[in-house]
Structure 1
Amino acid sequence: MASILKKDLPEGQRALEQWRRTAADDLAATDDLPRRVWAMAVRYSLYLMERKAPGEGVEVRVAPWGAIKILEGPASDPHNLTPPDVIELEPDVWLRLVCGVSTWDEEKDAGHISAVGERDDLSDLLPLA
């Protein structure tokens, strides 16, 4: 399931770098970034995660901008299309993890990650950038 169109990869890369630079200077300032920057940064980072950990066993959802399936393991039930492991994060949480601003354990302990299933920890895969 593609999180970003191939033609949008350069824009996504720029958006993720813009989010990272802004967060490094002042994390609160990321709230002022345009919605499109947020969307493209999330989509591009999901694309990077798909490439890093291909598979069908875990669904990672970053609403409203994307969802991917990663890691080997049991695929979706053909009746409901949901894999046995599902992780849901808000865009700000996802980007903090992707960019190394926070850790999986910090976000999980703060209650910012909803994860169901045996493979509910992506700490070995993050940060991405």
Structure 2
Amino acid sequence: MPERHVNWDAVPVVLEDFEVGREPARESLRDAVRALLWALAQRAPGRSVELRVPPYGAIQCVEGPRHTRGTPPNVVETDPITFVKLATGILNWADALTSGKIAMSGIRADLSSYLPCWPEKSEKTP
């Protein structure tokens, strides 16, 4: 997805919802997940890990061997709220993994060095 289609404004809306204890609106959460997936793909370009955040999106990221058929050897899956919290630094990788909020497989599936990935406004455009 080109950056011009990324709705950066959804991320602060969802963060505000978290702050006041409100459940984010479905559309805002969807747009925030997609924006943060885009940010992560920019921070960790590659095709060796597949990150799935159902039902809103999936990306391939991290340099390394690329898979071409079937289920990739390095897969991470999490829910939308956990992903937004990881991507913005509200939740760290180790805590999410320990609490069972992340399912992962493969030797490259640890994304902790790439998170959080929420860029400051001045960093959004490469």
TM normalised by structure 1 equals 0.84
Query: How many residues in Structure 1 have an aligned counterpart in Structure 2?
Result: 118
* Residues 1:13 and 1:111: Cα distance change in structure 2 (over 3 Å): same
Partner of 1:67: 58
Which of 8, 13, 38 is the equivalent residue of 1:13? 8
Partner of 1:53: 44
Identity among equivalent pairs (%): 32
Instruction: State how 1:1-129 maps to structure 2 within 5 Å.
Output: 2=1, 6-9=3-6, 12-23=7-18, 25-26=19-20, 28-29=21-22, 31=23, 33-78=24-69, 80=70, 82-129=71-118
Q: Measure the CA separation in 2 of the matches of 1:67 and 1:107.
A: 18
Q: Measure the CA separation in 1 of the matches of 2:90 and 2:98.
A: 15
User: Stretches of 4+ moved more than 3 A in 1?
Assistant: none
Secondary structure of 2:48's aligned partner: strand
Q: Give yes or no for contact 1:85–1:120 (8 Å, CA) kept in 2.
A: yes
TM normalised by structure 2 equals 0.86
Secondary structure of 2:113's aligned partner: coil
Secondary structure of 1:124's aligned partner: helix
What 5-or-longer segments of structure 1 have no aligned partner? none
Q: Measure the CA separation in 2 of the matches of 1:109 and 1:76.
A: 28
